[in-house]
Amino acid sequence: MIKRIVFSICLLVSAYSVAQEGTASPYSFFGIGDVRFKGTVEMRAMAGIGVEQDSIHINLDNPSSFANLKLTTFALGGGFNQTNLKSAKESAAVQRVALDYLAVGLPLGTKAGLGFGLIPYSSVGYKIESIATDATQNSSRFDGKGGLNKVFLGFGYKLLPQLSLGADAHYNFGTINTSSLEFLSTIPVGTREINNVTLTGFNFNVGLMFQTKLTAKTNFYSSFNYSLESSLKSVNLSSISTVLIDAEFNNSLVDTSDQIETTTNLTTPSKMTLGIGFGSSKKWLLGTQISFRDPANFVNTYNDFNAVSYGKYQKVSLGGYYIPNYNSFTSYAKRIVYRGGLKYEQTGLIVNSKSINDIGATMGIGFPVSGSFSNINLGFEIGKRGTTSQGLIQENYAILSLSLSLNDRWFQKRKFD
């Protein structure tokens, strides 16, 4: 029954995830858009901590974790994002609902595991308007949508009972469609530029996870993940048109130029993530994790601005979980998983000489499904990104996430008496 449910869900969400608009951030105007969190709702509720070798939860960030799976795991997660956009003079509220991941993990014997799935990597979704107070000066409107998705396949192998090694490959694909309009407020004619960008490329990750006992009840966990430098091929079809503009800014084409095709290679430097933690399996965990990466090259033909540059990326997280009594038969509440965490992230985007940073707090609850190893997880995150100085936008956000993790034994030989 679970297999039939999984297959049906896969068909539905695979089509939806490619078309969704997962952000309303004005900062998605730059580069390849707003880079999404890579991980499950369970990890997000702990600020991204994923250092424990878990046997029933998928770790999307470290492929070596697949070696520890004991059951076939199907994971699906998404979230609702409420963001208040605030400048020095005004504010606005926006909402988005988006799929975050669809993944399957398969144990291969007792020492190996396989994982595959679909992850939206970045999202573009902005509407920006700049109306000049002087009627003789140009006004502007900018619209964009789209993003980048990843299909991944990973393999993990247990070299030793305490040490796992893994690697995965990602095929990246997506489209970004942008429109910019320049006009004078007193004249119903303007100039419109349209860009249709197709992105494709591959990237590869390797990972290690190690754990050992410190005492009879306390374990030490560590993880290492390295993403190799990769490039994205960007093919941009652009055209410039003269348009008529009505009171609601609807455009009617007057004249247009021939499309111009340009090809650009965007570079993502290598990224390293290190994590350590202490805890007792199925009882508690406290961990910390740090990620860092050199400046990326995401400058494209349609969003190259002097006021924008890319610096080093860095993220620091602290988080963990607590389970009162994992094996309790008398109290369901004691089997609930309580999660929490804190994070600080330098996104690497620099606008008007200001680094766009993100700081947030997370929490979550995991509800076990009685009679099985499956679980339903809720996560909540609040935070702040950006600043109102230098004419920029500050985003105050709240994210409610929901995930389903179905765990069962597949591919078993049936026995008959």
Least trusted range by pLDDT, from 14-23, 259-268, 313-322: 14-23
349 to 122, 352, 356: CA distances (angstroms): 14, 10, 6
User: What pLDDT, on a 0 to 100 scale, did the predictor assign at position 20?
Assistant: 52
Between 27 and 302, the higher pLDDT residue: 27
Q: How far apart are CA 14 and CA 200, in angstroms?
A: 18
DSSP 8-state symbol, 136: T
* Predicted pLDDT of residue 311: 92
> Where is mean pLDDT largest: 361-365, 404-408, 409-413?
361-365
CA distances from residue 186 to 105, 167, 213, 364 in whole angstroms, order as listed: 60, 59, 74, 53
Structure tokens at 319: 């988080």
Look at the block and give the residue holding tokens 């996560």: 379
Please check the confidence at residue 18 and state whether its pLDDT lies above 50: no
Question: How far is residue 310 from each of residues 298, 306, 346, 408, measured CA to CA in Å?
Answer: 8, 11, 11, 44
In the 8-state DSSP scheme, what is residue 11? H
Distance CA 255, CA 295 (A): 40
CA nearest 211: which of 366, 108, 67, 340?
67
Q: Cα–Cα distance between 295 and 311 in angstroms, integer?
A: 5
**pLDDT exceeds cutoff 80 at 16:** no
Query: Which position has the higher pLDDT, 100 or 297?
Result: 100
Is pLDDT above 80 for 266?
Answer: yes
Query: Above 60 in pLDDT, residue 212?
Result: yes
Give me the pLDDT at residue 244, please.
87
Average pLDDT over residues 229-249: 89
Least confident of 91-105, 106-120, 126-140, 383-397: 126-140
Asked if residue 263 has pLDDT above 90, the reply is yes
Per-residue pLDDT, 24: 82
Q: Specify whether the CB–CB gap between 49 and 43 falls below 8 A.
A: yes
Which pLDDT belongs to residue 10?
Answer: 40
Which percentage of the chain shows pLDDT scores above 70?
93
pLDDT band at 82 (very low <50, low <70, confident <90, very high): very high
Residues β-bridged to residue 171? 151, 202
Nearest to 337 by CA among 348, 353, 349, 326: 326
pLDDT (tens digit per residue) in 303-343 = 777 888 899 999 999 999 999 998 888 899 999 999 999 99
**188-197 per-position pLDDT tens digit:** 888 999 999 9
What is the reported pTM? 0.88
Summarised one tens digit per residue, pLDDT across range 125-137 is 988 887 777 877 8
Q: Which residue has the tokens 């997280």?
A: 317
Residue 187 has pLDDT above 70, yes or no: yes
Residue whose C-alpha is closest to residue 396's, from 383, 379, 405, 409: 383
Q: Kindly report which listed range (12-21, 301-310, 375-384, 395-404) carries the lowest average pLDDT score.
A: 12-21
Q: What is the mean pLDDT of the chain?
A: 89
Query: Predicted confidence band at 412 (pLDDT cuts at 50, 70, 90)?
Result: low
pLDDT reading at 53 higher than 70? yes
Q: Is residue 383 pLDDT above 70, yes or no?
A: yes
Six-digit token string for 8: 């049906």
Instruction: Give the per-residue pLDDT at 245.
Output: 83
For the segment 200-212, the average pLDDT, to the nearest whole number, is 97
Q: Can you tell me the mean pLDDT for 44-49? A: 96
Over the stretch 153-186, which tens digit does the pLDDT of each residue have? 999 999 999 999 999 999 999 999 999 898 887 8
Per-residue pLDDT, 308: 87
pLDDT at site 416:
46
